């Protein structure tokens, strides 16, 4: 056998072990020897049963995503052919599952007659997250073992389940206590002794029939699972495929699955989502920080500031299993902060997403103090105090005195100069920015702001800790607003001129939601509070025609029941307000601006194209290491639609030539810097280049 597949024999059972690091993806070079090994076991009279197991940290994690779009993905033996071969066996085949059997990995296991899993194993069909659906029978076999209702929930959500749930659902036949392969061999031998016949999953129809008899639960599950697809095709295709499994024969449903898979896998949305899969992993590779850099040990975390951000950050760490000490200037401030934290956990318990037991465990991880000396043994201290440089100076001056040598000192600033903050200490190499996004216990994105002097092992440490608390970390450089907020500024720079020239707030917001954002910029302003921007502008001596006028009228947004929109009777649903329309018309008249109908395309060109231009400048200045990092920032921090792959992937789809042409048009018309094409962008456009082809 090859290195990828080895076969051993134990008492008439052939044990086929796969070994394709790092996650046993079903690459062609694994499929070929695996197919041969199964055929050999089938034809060997001395073999009475088979076990398929994996070496390394996990059972098969799926098809090899990097093969998609290449001939290797379709080369025989394909995964469906492997599954058909397994299902044709008269001898019992048992999958021995550890780690995560995902996608094609679970499909391979479902093509076996039986499945034995270790207690920590997880199983799932996450293909929907790649913009596709299970393409090797998962949508037809999973309903037969778990029932259509459970299957459609798993396949449309893409979320894995644990071994105990898999056993209870009928996906797994036994949980192994101790040695997994040994348990699988014993299970195979038991089945051989029972004499069979060994029913393949395709022949098990009882749960399909039960849904025929009473489809209500299945229909309700479909409705709930597909309620929010936000313009994505894959979730609907997943539900359609499971419905086919219920309504059609096995082979008809299998053919339909193949048709749906073929359509989706070549589509833009799947290409975009596969791009994001690899981009997220690429973002964890920091230039100048090799795998040889050892992260520092983080056992205890200190958080300074128990406000909205401090409390959210503290929850993120407590949720990730870290003991957290919260420091505030007074007991009253600590009381307020903890009251909010306890309320948040209570809401999660109420929603059923957190057990009382886990809530208690997380709260037990918190301690509180008003004395900096209590942070002396913390390994990582994060400040989330007022966004004012003098306050940061005070905090970091104190930290420099009390924190132990080697402690990492992090600032949660969202746009201030991290190098300046580091200069307030005698240990700038231990200072880093950790920019969380509100609510910090929910939002995935974590911008790791690398100071000039930040040590490589500090970056490796906060990257590791960030992933451990469930964040998606991206390393960015020091500039005003880093990557996300700097591009947000570019996206919003021309919004008020658009309003004054004739675009209504609701039209602009609709263009954004039609594009795939969860909400438009004005709804977002009302949610965050118009007064935040107002205060910020005043501190910088800046003005905004409409924003200031609204704030002068006390219209701060949702918190005051009115802002850009009306929020009647405490509703959170924005309603256009004629008073705002009149205010905009009056302001336009005062400025002699002749209003006109503005197209949706013009709104895109005057908001999203400047955002792409700012990204090109960010790359020129090396504030981001690669275009795909910017995609990860915007998808995880600002709700950029995953079906468009992030701003840079989308810009390539739009065509950089078009973008530069239109930026030139608006620059000539308005003279605004935000429309002046970056040199690197113009060069890419002129040479037919693209961001994705751009060297890393």
Region from 56-64, 442-450, 513-521, 548-556 binding ligand T1G, contact rule CB under 6 A: 56-64
Q: Is 473 in the site for ligand T1G (CB under 6 A)?
A: no
Task: At 7, give phi and psi (nearest 5°).
Answer: -125, 130
Whichever of 14 and 63 has its CB closer to ligand T1G, that residue is 63
Annotated catalytic residue, options 87, 127, 328, 605? 127
Closest CA to 629 of 475, 477, 524: 475
At residue 390's C-alpha, the angle toward residues 368 and 309, to 5°, is: 40
Region from 62-70, 88-96, 504-512, 589-597 binding ligand T1G, contact rule CB under 6 A: 62-70
Cβ–Cβ under 8 Å, residues 367 and 325: yes
CA 316, 318, 323, 325 dihedral sign is: positive
CA 187, 192, 195, 197 dihedral sign is: positive
| Nearest approach, Cβ of residue 18 and ligand T1G (Å) | 13
Cβ–Cβ under 8 Å, residues 498 and 599: no
Q: Residue from 20, 64, 143, 148 that binds ligand T1G (CB under 6 A)? A: 64
| Nearest approach, Cβ of residue 222 and ligand T1G (Å) | 20
Q: Is 428 in the site for ligand T1G (CB under 6 A)?
A: no
Annotated catalytic residue, options 87, 107, 149, 614? 107
Cβ–Cβ under 8 Å, residues 216 and 39: no
Whichever of 130 and 161 has its CB closer to ligand T1G, that residue is 130
Cβ–Cβ under 8 Å, residues 322 and 298: yes
Q: Is 126 in the site for ligand T1G (CB under 6 A)?
A: yes
Q: Residue from 35, 54, 108, 127 that binds ligand T1G (CB under 6 A)? A: 127
Cβ–Cβ under 8 Å, residues 644 and 650: yes
Q: Residue from 7, 37, 65, 619 that binds ligand T1G (CB under 6 A)? A: 65
Q: Is 422 in the site for ligand T1G (CB under 6 A)?
A: no
| Nearest approach, Cβ of residue 108 and ligand T1G (Å) | 9
Q: Residue from 131, 138, 484, 637 that binds ligand T1G (CB under 6 A)? A: 138
Region from 31-39, 96-104, 167-175, 565-573 binding ligand T1G, contact rule CB under 6 A: 96-104
Q: Residue from 33, 77, 92, 104 that binds ligand T1G (CB under 6 A)? A: 104
| Nearest approach, Cβ of residue 559 and ligand T1G (Å) | 39
Distance between CA 653 and CA 647 in Å, rounded? 10
Whichever of 17 and 61 has its CB closer to ligand T1G, that residue is 61
b/e per residue, 148-166, with b = 16+ CB within 10 A? Answer: bbbbbbbbbbbebbebebb
Q: Residue from 92, 103, 521, 547 that binds ligand T1G (CB under 6 A)? A: 103
Q: Which of residues 261-290 bind ligand T1G (CB under 6 A)?
A: 278, 281
Closest CA to 358 of 323, 318, 325: 318
The verdict on whether 452 is a catalytic residue reads no
Whichever of 261 and 638 has its CB closer to ligand T1G, that residue is 261
Region from 124-132, 447-455, 480-488, 561-569 binding ligand T1G, contact rule CB under 6 A: 124-132
Number of residues lying near ligand T1G (CB under 6 A) = 26
Whichever of 67 and 174 has its CB closer to ligand T1G, that residue is 67
Q: Is 62 in the site for ligand T1G (CB under 6 A)?
A: yes
Q: Is 464 in the site for ligand T1G (CB under 6 A)?
A: no
Region from 123-131, 292-300, 333-341, 412-420 binding ligand T1G, contact rule CB under 6 A: 123-131
**DSSP label at 341?**
H
What is the x/- site pattern for ligand T1G, positions 582-601, by CB under 6 A? --------------------
Region from 63-71, 202-210, 233-241, 313-321 binding ligand T1G, contact rule CB under 6 A: 63-71
Strand 100-102 relative to strand 122-124: parallel, antiparallel, unpaired?
parallel
Q: Which of residues 1-30 bind ligand T1G (CB under 6 A)?
A: 22-23, 25
Q: Is 291 in the site for ligand T1G (CB under 6 A)?
A: no
CA 182, 183, 187, 188 dihedral sign is: negative
Q: Is 143 in the site for ligand T1G (CB under 6 A)?
A: no
| Nearest approach, Cβ of residue 291 and ligand T1G (Å) | 10
Cβ–Cβ under 8 Å, residues 627 and 648: yes
Q: Is 629 in the site for ligand T1G (CB under 6 A)?
A: no
Q: Is 320 in the site for ligand T1G (CB under 6 A)?
A: no
Cβ–Cβ under 8 Å, residues 521 and 491: yes
Distance between CA 433 and CA 382 in Å, rounded? 9
| Sequential DSSP letters for 302-317 | EEE--SHHHHHHHHHH
| Nearest approach, Cβ of residue 163 and ligand T1G (Å) | 15
Whichever of 138 and 627 has its CB closer to ligand T1G, that residue is 138
What's the alpha-carbon Rg for the chain, to the nearest Å? 28
Whichever of 110 and 303 has its CB closer to ligand T1G, that residue is 110
Q: Residue from 6, 32, 66, 680 that binds ligand T1G (CB under 6 A)? A: 66
Judged by DSSP in three states, 386 sits in coil
- Burial of 374: CB neighbours in 10 Å, binned 0-12, 13-18, 19+: middle
**DSSP label at 430?**
G
Q: Residue from 20, 38, 53, 61 that binds ligand T1G (CB under 6 A)? A: 61
Neighbours of 675 (CB within 10 A): 23
| Sequential DSSP letters for 510-524 | HHHHHHT-SS-HHHH
Q: Is 135 in the site for ligand T1G (CB under 6 A)?
A: yes
b/e per residue, 580-618, with b = 16+ CB within 10 A? Answer: beebbeebbeeeeeeeeebeeebbbbbbbbbbbbbbbbb
Whichever of 83 and 490 has its CB closer to ligand T1G, that residue is 83
What is the x/- site pattern for ligand T1G, positions 70-89, by CB under 6 A? ---------x----------
Judged by DSSP in three states, 13 sits in strand
The verdict on whether 552 is a catalytic residue reads no
Distance between CA 188 and CA 95 in Å, rounded? 10
Report residue 72 CA to chain centroid gap.
28
Q: Is 107 in the site for ligand T1G (CB under 6 A)?
A: yes
Closest CA to 603 of 516, 494, 678, 677: 494
Q: Which residues are catalytic?
A: 107, 127
The binding site for ligand T1G (CB under 6 A) comprises: 22-23, 25, 58, 61-66, 79, 100, 102-104, 107, 126-127, 130, 132, 134-136, 138, 278, 281
């Amino acid at each position: 056998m090859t290195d990828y597949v080895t076969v051993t024999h134990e008492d008439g059972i052939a044990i086929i072990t796969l070994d394709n690091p790092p996650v046993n993806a079903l690459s062609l070079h694994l499929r070929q020897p695996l197919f041969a090994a199964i055929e050999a076991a089938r034809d060997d009279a001395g073999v009475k049963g088979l076990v398929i197991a994996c070496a390394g940290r996990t059972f098969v994690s799926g098809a090899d995503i990097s093969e998609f779009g290449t001939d290797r993905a379709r080369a025989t033996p394909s995964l469906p052919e492997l599954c058909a071969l397994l299902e044709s066996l008269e001898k019992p085949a048992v999958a021995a599952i550890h780690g995560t059997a995902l996608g094609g990995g679970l499909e391979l296991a479902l093509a076996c007659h039986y499945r034995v899993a270790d207690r920590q194993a997880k199983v799932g069909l996450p293909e929907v997250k790649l913009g596709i659906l299970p393409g090797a029978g998962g949508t037809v076999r999973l309903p037969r073992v778990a029932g259509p209702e459970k299957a459609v929930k798993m396949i449309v959500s893409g979320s894995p389940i644990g071994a105990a749930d898999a056993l209870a659902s009928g996906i797994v036949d036994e949980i192994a206590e101790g040695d997994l392969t040994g348990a699988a061999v014993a299970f195979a031998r038991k089945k051989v002794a029972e004499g069979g016949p060994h029913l393949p999953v395709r022949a098990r129809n009882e749960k399909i029939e039960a849904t025929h008899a009473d489809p209500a639960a299945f229909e309700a599950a479909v409705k709930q699972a597909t309620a929010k697809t936000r313009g994505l095709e894959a979730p609907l295709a997943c539900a359609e495929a499971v419905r086919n499994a219920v309504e059609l024969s096995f082979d008809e449903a299998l053919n339909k699955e193949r048709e749906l898979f073929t359509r989706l896998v070549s589509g833009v949305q799947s290409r975009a989502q596969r791009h994001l899969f690899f981009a997220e992993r690429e973002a964890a590779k920091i230039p100048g920080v090799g795998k040889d850099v050892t992260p520092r040990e983080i056992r205890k975390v200190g958080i300074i500031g128990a406000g909205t951000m401090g409390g959210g950050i503290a929850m993120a760490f407590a949720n990730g299993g870290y003991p957290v000490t919260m420091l505030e200037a007074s007991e009253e401030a600590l009381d307020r902060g903890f009251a909010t934290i306890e309320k948040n956990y209570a809401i999660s318990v109420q929603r059923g997403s957190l057990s009382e037991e886990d809530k208690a465990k997380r709260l037990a991880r918190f301690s509180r103090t008003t004395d900096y000396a209590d942070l002396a043994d913390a390994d990582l201290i994060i400040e989330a105090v007022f966004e004012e440089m003098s306050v940061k100076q005070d905090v970091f001056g104190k930290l420099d005195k009390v924190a132990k040598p080697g402690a990492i000192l992090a600032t949660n600033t969202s746009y201030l100069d991290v190098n300046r903050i580091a200069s307030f200490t005698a240990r700038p190499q231990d200072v880093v920015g950790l920019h969380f996004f509100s609510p910090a216990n929910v939002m995935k994105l974590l911008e790791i702001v690398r100071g000039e002097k930040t040590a490589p092992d500090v970056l490796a440490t906060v990257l590791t800790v960030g992933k451990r608390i469930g964040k998606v970390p991206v390393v960015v450089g020091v500039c005003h607003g880093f990557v996300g907020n700097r591009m947000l500024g570019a996206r919003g720079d021309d919004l008020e001129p658009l309003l004054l020239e004739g675009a209504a707030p609701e039209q602009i917001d609709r263009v954004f939601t039609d594009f795939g954002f969860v909400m438009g910029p004005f709804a977002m302003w009302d949610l965050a509070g118009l007064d935040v921007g107002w205060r910020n502008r005043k501190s910088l001596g800046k003005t905004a025609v409409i924003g200031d006028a609204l704030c002068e009228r006390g219209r701060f947004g949702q918190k005051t029941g009115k802002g850009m929109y009306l929020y009647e009777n405490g509703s959170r649903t924005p309603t256009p307000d004629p008073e705002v329309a009149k205010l905009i018309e009056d302001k336009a008249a005062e400025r002699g601006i002749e209003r006109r109908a503005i197209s949706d395309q013009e709104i895109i060109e005057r908001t999203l194209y400047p955002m792409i231009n700012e990204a090109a400048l960010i790359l020129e200045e090396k504030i981001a290491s690669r275009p795909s990092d910017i995609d990860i920032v915007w998808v995880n921090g600002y709700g950029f639609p995953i079906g468009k792959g992030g701003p840079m992937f989308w810009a390539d789809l739009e065509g950089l030539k078009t973008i530069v042409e239109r930026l030139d048009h608006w620059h000539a018309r308005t003279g605004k810097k935000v429309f002046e094409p970056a040199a690197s962008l113009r060069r890419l456009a002129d040479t037919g280049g693209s961001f994705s082809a751009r060297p890393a």
